[in-house]
Amino acid sequence: MPRVKEILDTMDYGPAPEANSAITQWLKTHEAGLGQFINGAFTKVGSETFDVMNPATEAKLARVSQGTPADVDQAVKAARKAFPAWAKLDGHTRATHLYAIARLIQKRERFLAVLETMDNGKPIRESRDIDVPLVARHFYHHAGWAELIADEFPDYQPVGVCGQIIPWNFPLLMLAWKIAPALAAGNTVVLKPAEYTPLTALAFAEICHEAGLPPGVVNIVTGDGRTGQALVEHPDVDKIAFTGSTEVGRLIRKATAGSGKKLSLELGGKSPFIVHEDADLDAAVEGVVDAIWFNQGQVCCAGSRLLVQEGIAEKFLGKLRRRMETLRVGDPLDKSVDMGPVVDPVQLKRIREIVAKGQDEGGTLLQASCPLPEKGYYFPPSLFTDVDTASTVMDVEIFGPVAAVMTFRTPEEAAALANHTRYGLAATIWSENINLVLDTAARMKAGVVWVNSTNLFDAAAGFGGYRESGFGREGGREGMFEYLVPTWEAELPKTSEKKAAALNIAPAKSIDLKGLPSIDRTAKLYVGGKQARPDSGYSYSVLNAKGQAIGQAGLGNRKDIRNAVEAAGKASGWSSATAHNRAQVLYYIGENLNARANEFAARLEAMGQSAKVARAEVEASLRRIFWYAAQADKYDGRVHSTKTREVTLAMNEPFGIMGLLCADECPLLGFVSLVMPAIAMGNRVVAVPSPAHPFAATDLYQVFDTSDLPDGVVNIVTGDRDELAKTLADHEDVAALWYFGGMEGSAAVEKASAGNLKPTWVSNGKARNWLDASQGQGGEYLRRATQVKNIWIPYGE
């Protein structure tokens, strides 16, 4: 028997297996197979099934039904039937249901942890100490939101039936992230777990039944991608929430385009892990262990790109290599194991292929020398050196225990390297200099930033990404908005022409290029603070309500959009300006518009409005400008209550460049209602005004020029709304897009936005009353003009 001293030198601990007899007994009771959980009960095992395997032993665990379109339809109908009663429950009653679920999860913590480990392969220490406690935490936290919903979200209502699709890397935790906020908001759900790891979801269904959750509120349908596709395409689903790969996220964005379904996507990542020269290197090394070898690297926010300052790189890598050699890989039910197997042989094959490609490209592969079990889908902790930004292992999400390292010299270079990716899910920064870490955190194009820590999660803090890591947030106040819709927006009529007629406004007319009359007034485009002729050289007639030409406007094209986006890109200083300075400029715009109020009212009358409505629109525009000027320095972030001795800052950040396509109704007010919240929050915009009534917007050129608005902050391109919308939606540098027009145009925008997965806000052919402040202004506009970055900052010694 080895002596204690020898054990401490070798770290050669003996096995510490976790008992799994309760799980084997549970599986034995279901050895005939597991059906779907629909309308509060399990169905019979379907005609088509698939086996669920233990990735550590390659042994079969269970047989599970393959969900069919009929199963999905039955589940959606059950959720639809249950929705009215569940949504009408007072918040306290819904809260008691979530609380009961949380208590039952706590009572079954060990059972769920062992089942998760056997199903997924993650070490029991992780499932027991991290995953399952967080699952209970989410249900407790959202029981609180259910209790407070009438007070905290007074003008919102639940979306309806939510289709939710979760991955295999955190099966039960992802379920909690999806189901808890949906139920708290008053929605009903149909959830599809990953086909590799459905067992804890089915065990959760039993908990729902035991907790007395009303039938149909939670439905769980198992299956592969075909089941998920049926759920996404079901016409009676009101929202889709998806966590998974960016490639599948794009397909879902396209599939839901034009359907009116609300959508949130939490997708892939290639997160940077920055180590500055003044960092606590030993702590940073442990951070790497948690960043990339936690859960076998099967983490969407894994810190897989190590960026180490040049002066300490050799010392840091030496410490990291030594730490790699102490990692233990083996049976995940062994409490002293650091890494278990990856989830499936398909995933193992993909990891091996990418690693081989990294070596072929000249990268040097370092791997821990730990022995691997003969059975199971194991891969050793791995690290690539001698790579650059173009290397496959630095660019592609491997989703395995493989990191790659590069060096940097200055903080500016570190930020540039960190943001050199199409993803934007998370980032980690290590430094003892608080000024340096906060400056670096502000530079990160990522939804979550951890300071001197990594992979921290809590139900009170939102989680989600920028760019191709998706849009929407899960957790905290931000996450609740994903399962709510403003009451006024839900009740909007579908026909814009009826609403326009009710406001005594001329409806849109198609652009006519034939037989253009000779009219002196021709409005140019407004790009980079200057009036510009359209690239096409063409203009179109602008007609009043009687069909009479009142002027011409430039017919913008894709090159004009390109020029406008470039001009907006050069105006980046607006995004970093203080909120007070932005507010002042908006106040100046309001003052200068007020000085010309009669002129603008007369212009609206010439377009076909009554004198009363024209005056009301100008006055409402003034109020709106001043309201957003007031909000510019008041719509601020929060400090979330998360972990002990952590300050978790939720910061509202501008997207950068936004595309805005304006409605025909209330052409001046509609333009102001979109442009002002966007620029108040620090965005720069490319705006396409009403094609039928563009002069209401083009007349603002002189107002902008005399209001100290920096060149390029607002760019105006007139022309065909739907044609220009597609160009804006396709443009990689446009980070978010709002479209207010017809149903076909809305669908086209959502479909085209799948390219860089920019967030969109479309009207789906529904016209709002822009004169009504509850519809035309408010926090919903500010929320959609920003994206939330959560920065986790520890404090104390």
Residue 581, token pair as written in the block:
């300075």
* Beta strand ranges found along 655-735 (DSSP E): 657-661, 684-688, 714-716
Nearest to residue 588, comparing CAs of 687, 673, 710, 688? Answer: 710
What backbone phi and psi angles, to 5 degrees, belong to 464?
Answer: 170, 175
Our CA dihedral for 251, 254, 259, 260, rounded to 10 degrees, sits at 90
- The amino acid that residue 605 corresponds to is E
Residues 6+ apart with CB under 8 A from 177: 138, 166, 243, 463, 474, 475, 479
Q: Say if residues 445 and 420 touch (Cβ distance below 8 Å).
A: no
Q: Is 220 helix (H, G, I), strand (E, B) or coil?
A: strand
Integer Cα distance of 716 and 730 in angstroms: 18
What backbone phi and psi angles, to 5 degrees, belong to 381?
Answer: -55, 130
Q: Say if residues 618 and 597 touch (Cβ distance below 8 Å).
A: yes
Q: Is 404 helix (H, G, I), strand (E, B) or coil?
A: strand
Q: Say if residues 157 and 483 touch (Cβ distance below 8 Å).
A: no
Cα angle, residue 695 at apex, residues 692 and 700 outer, rounded to 5°: 140
Residue 681, token pair as written in the block:
């929050």
Q: Would you give the distance in Å from CA 635 to the centre of its chain?
A: 20
Integer Cα distance of 183 and 204 in angstroms: 14
Question: Cα dist. 361→308, 356, 357, 366, 390 in Å?
Answer: 21, 9, 6, 15, 10
First-residue to last-residue Cα distance in the chain: 40
Residue from 208, 300, 662, 666 carrying the catalytic annotation: 300
Q: How many CA atoms lie within 13 A of 61 on its CB side?
A: 26
Integer Cα distance of 646 and 72 in angstroms: 42
Is 266 among the catalytic positions? yes
Residue from 116, 266, 665, 780 carrying the catalytic annotation: 266
Q: How many CA atoms lie within 13 A of 751 on its CB side?
A: 13
Integer Cα distance of 491 and 778 in angstroms: 17
Burial of 439 per CB tally in 10 Å (0-12, 13-18, 19+): middle
Q: Would you give the distance in Å from CA 611 to the centre of its chain?
A: 44
Residue found under tokens 């994206």: 787
- What is the Cα Rg of the chain in Å? 28
Integer Cα distance of 443 and 143 in angstroms: 35
Integer Cα distance of 357 and 350 in angstroms: 11
Residue 644, token pair as written in the block:
């002990």
Residue found under tokens 């035991």: 210
The residues carrying an active-site annotation are: 266, 300
